[in-house]
């Protein structure tokens, strides 16, 4: 009988994950263009559960661009554009000890308008230096090509990913990145959390709701256009750089049936199918029948040509996903626009994100059963309020969260899941994606900035820093 694995593989990648738009700042420096995240606003006059990015209009975009007194924290981030050398040293082999470092390249730094004829050399040079510094500090780079950084011009001059022209613009951008960095970056994620077309829909797809007639139909067409472009980039990589691995990424978190009723079980299954659709296309190479059934039932007309079907056969090499919470789905919520809702039986952070370590093992098994390919957890963590008192942050609650999730990862490996790496989100405090605030903190390192950009910007190790450092040093044995 084959012996089940004990612990994590020897070459397991203990990493940290970040996004350029949430940390770099320097939003107009060195010819960078505006990107969609540069108009994400922080507001202190709305309730915490409503602080997220969803739909946006062209009217909002134009007003945001003219505004002089509103707060757009992602324009300044944590000034990583100027502090990356010091920060990477703090995170790498002489600091926290990360084995791998995931970040994105800001599309608008490379093609400021998205449709430029030539890339911006100053932007490319910055990422030359950044990647070299990642490697210098003993970390393997994993790079995301698109992480909510679409050039804003593509949402105003075109209609974001809904416009077919963007397929070629993004394919060109991806090829430029591969040509430039393939010798140093062997792991790429093309699109961050590609299934997020409700939450983060504008940041992801750049489709302004007042620019299209049918918003839901436009979003689905947009994401199919995006997947076609992903397939073009994957083919280019496979043809030219066979040692490079291309990944697709989910926002993970299964929906459980709200009850044992068959109708609720069936609703949760259908909801999950439409979340897994993107992996079925990008990892299996075809559009599954259930998707066409869903589109027919909901009067959604998606145009996919024979040529599109052919290019989609060029599928990715690995699966990656973020994991933060699970939800519930009932017959009623599914029929109300394929919606899900919070599980009252689970604890949650102040933003209502449920804490479900066992859900991570469930999802790892579901994904491996479905795709039978290498898997990386490329985001996992918990946003909480941290207090800096006497130059110390006593975040004993953070190791407790991570410990429970890592234990479930160990069990999933015993189940036979081919798990290759785990990336904590985000080891250094950065601006929140969904709420554009600094006070929702994930890091093992405190950054002294508040929601309004005030503070020294100093980096201060939290109590959890030494804990995670030990986890990495012992390859997950000491938790």
Active site members: 379
Query: Which of 72, 58, 65 lies closest to 25, judged by CA?
Result: 72
Phi and psi at residue 76, to the nearest 5°: -110, -25
The dihedral of CA 29, 134, 21, 195: what is its sign? positive
Q: What does DSSP say about strands 445-447 and 459-461: parallel, antiparallel, or unpaired?
A: antiparallel
């Amino acid at each position: 009988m084959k012996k089940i694995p004990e612990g994590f593989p020897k070459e397991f990648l203990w990493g940290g994950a970040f996004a350029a738009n949430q940390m770099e700042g320097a939003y107009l420096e060195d010819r960078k263009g505006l990107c969609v995240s540069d108009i994400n606003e922080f507001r202190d006059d709305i309730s915490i559960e409503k602080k997220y990015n969803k739909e946006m209009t062209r009217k909002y975009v134009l007003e945001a661009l003219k505004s002089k007194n509103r707060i757009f924290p992602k324009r300044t981030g944590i000034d990583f554009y100027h502090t990356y050398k010091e920060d990477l040293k703090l995170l790498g082999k002489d600091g926290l000890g990360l084995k791998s470092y995931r970040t994105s390249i800001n599309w608008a730094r490379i093609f400021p308008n998205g449709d430029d004829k030539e890339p911006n050399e100053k932007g490319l040079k910055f990422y030359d230096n950044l990647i070299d510094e990642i490697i210098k500090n003993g970390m393997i780079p994993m790079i995301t090509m698109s992480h909510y950084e679409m050039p804003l011009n593509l949402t105003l001059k075109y209609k974001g990913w809904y416009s077919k022209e963007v397929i070629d613009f993004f394919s060109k951008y991806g090829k430029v990145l591969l040509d430039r960095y393939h010798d140093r970056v062997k792991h790429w994620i093309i699109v961050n959390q590609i299934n997020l077309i409700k939450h983060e829909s504008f940041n992801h797809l750049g489709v302004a709701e007042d620019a299209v007639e049918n918003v839901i139909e436009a979003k689905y067409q947009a994401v199919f256009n995006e997947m076609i472009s992903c397939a073009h980039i994957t083919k280019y990589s496979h043809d030219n750089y066979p040692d490079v691995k291309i990944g697709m990424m989910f926002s993970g978190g299964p929906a459980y049936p709200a009850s044992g009723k068959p109708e609720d079980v069936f609703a949760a299954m259908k909801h999950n199918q439409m979340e897994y659709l993107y992996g079925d296309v990008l990892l299996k190479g075809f559009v599954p029948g259930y998707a066409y059934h869903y589109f027919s039932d909901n009067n959604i007309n998606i145009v996919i040509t024979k040529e599109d079907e052919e290019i989609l056969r060029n599928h990715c090499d690995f699966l990656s996903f973020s994991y933060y919470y699970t939800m519930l789905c009932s017959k009623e919520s599914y029929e109300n626009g394929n919606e899900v809702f919070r599980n009252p039986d689970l604890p949650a952070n102040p933003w209502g994100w449920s804490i479900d370590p066992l859900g991570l093992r469930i999802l790892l098994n579901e994904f491996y059963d479905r795709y039978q390919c290498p898997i990386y957890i490329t985001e996992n963590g918990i946003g909480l309020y941290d207090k800096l008192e006497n130059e110390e942050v006593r975040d004993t609650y953070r190791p407790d969260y991570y410990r429970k999730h890592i234990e479930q990862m160990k069990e999933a490996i015993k189940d036979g899941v081919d798990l290759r790496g785990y990336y904590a989100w985000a080891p250094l405090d950065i601006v929140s994606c969904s709420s554009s605030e600094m006070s929702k903190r994930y890091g093992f390192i405190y950054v002294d900035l508040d929601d309004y950009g005030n503070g020294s910007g100093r980096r201060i190790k939290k109590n959890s820093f030494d804990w995670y450092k030990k986890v990495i040093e012992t390859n997950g044995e000491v938790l």
